[in-house]
Amino acid sequence: MKVTELVEQFARPIVEQHGCSLWDVEYVREGSERFLRLYIEKEGGVDITDCEAISRAVDPVLDEKDPIAESYHFEVCSAGLERALKRPSDFERFMGSAITVKLYRPRNGLKEIPGILRGYEDGCVTVEAGKEMITFTKSEVALVRLRVEF
């Protein structure tokens, strides 16, 4: 089982006890440092108090379960307004929302395509960009995130 899946199993109930939802668990290397991050959300938005309370509640459980051998930094963050969509359920929940699709290689000279999410099937993302419907294959897409328009 991956570190992120293991951490998600024991962190989710703790996050929910604090009135929030667990959006994602990320374990990444940035330079020479490693980071374990919990991304949380709640109706009306997450604030620093939520992040601190969940961090304090999850930290001792991380020490007890010890899912990561090397040293790392633990952070609890808001999922944010422009969060990444990763799971099929994310795409389903935000169907019809403004998104940005980031590509590995440019298409028509662009590596980022803004549009409205219109479809998701087997990793393929369909976007309404202007008057055009564009479908991107899973192998083309580096990242899909919500886009906030003002």
Residues sharing a CB contact under 8 Å with residue 140, sequence separation 6 or more, in sequence order: 103, 104, 105, 107
Domains of the chain: 3-78 (3.30.300.70), 88-146 (2.30.30.100)
Residues 34-91: pLDDT tens digits? Answer: 999 999 999 999 999 999 999 999 999 999 999 898 999 999 999 999 999 999 999 9
For residue 137, is pLDDT > 90? Answer: yes
**Are the C-beta atoms of 114 and 100 separated by less than 8 Å?**
yes
Each residue of 117-132: pLDDT tens digit? 999 999 999 999 999 9
Task: Work out the pLDDT band at 1, boundaries 50, 70, 90.
Answer: confident
Q: Look over the chain and give the mean of its residue pLDDT values, rounded to a whole number.
A: 95
Task: Report the pLDDT value the prediction gives residue 138, as an integer from 0 to 100.
Answer: 94
Q: What is the mean pLDDT of residues 100-108?
A: 95
Q: First-to-last CA distance in the chain?
A: 41
Upper half-sphere CA count for residue 114 (Cβ side, 13 Å): 6
